[in-house]
Amino acid sequence: MKAMILAAGRGERMRPLTDVIPKPLVEVGGKPLIAWHLQALARAGFREVIVNLSWLGERLRAALGDGAAFGVQIRYSEEGPVALETGGGILRALPLLGPEPFLVVSGDVFTDIDLGRVRLEPDAGAHLVLVPNPPHHPKGDFGLDGDRVVRADHDRFTYANVGLYRPEFFVGCADGRFPLIEPLNRAIARGAVRGEIHRGEWSDVGTPARLAELEARLAAVQ
């Protein structure tokens, strides 16, 4: 199975830090966020990883190279000067990802999710990892009915930005910029998305304040 790390975004809420460094290269616990993912993927048995590039993409390419230093082989999906958002970025990378299901993880989260343990059910187009709602996102994203992801008005969880997808999940999507939530909503309406809850370490490193909180938490356990 191949994996994709979403790394093309501008990181607006992390400015001015991300004016000079792509957000996945922001360091936490002594190494870049994306390095944590690459090492976790290698431990889980993934060998081929796709990384999409846009904002300061040349710096990511220079820092990661071919992936050998992390125990994987990296191929890059170029998006040009304007990032294609989450859905458009995955769609653009499908030729590199191939015909089998693949894992997607955002380059700006920090987590101890066992990436090799996530499984895609035979009748599902996608399988999402959800987490309890963090303080900055108290309303969450999706509900769970058993293991089926549903739209809900309450008892919702937050998408951890880790999921398994079939290429067919993106049938009908047009090349260009669009968020992943658009095909997700369509698939959820069809009952084609499954999910699970992860209650371990997870942080959306989206602002300098959350980055500082994560650094402090990691320092406390070292």
For the chain, how are helix, strand and coil distributed in percent, rounded to 5? 30, 25, 40
List the domain range (segments joined by +) for residue 205. Answer: 2-221
Q: What CA–CA distance (Å, rounded) separates 71 from 123? A: 32
pLDDT at 33 > cutoff 80: yes
CATH number of the domain where residue 111 is located? 3.90.550.10
What pLDDT shows up at residue 14? 65
Q: What angle do CA 46, 50, 56 make, to 5 degrees?
A: 135
| pLDDT tens column, 2-14 | 999 999 987 667 6
Domain count across the chain? 1
What pLDDT shows up at residue 193? 98
Q: Under a CB-based contact definition with an 8 Å cutoff, are residues 115 and 3 in contact?
A: yes
CA atoms within 13 Å, Cβ hemisphere of 102: 26
pTM comes to 0.93
Q: Under a CB-based contact definition with an 8 Å cutoff, are residues 214 and 123 in contact?
A: no
Q: What CA–CA distance (Å, rounded) separates 92 from 95? A: 7
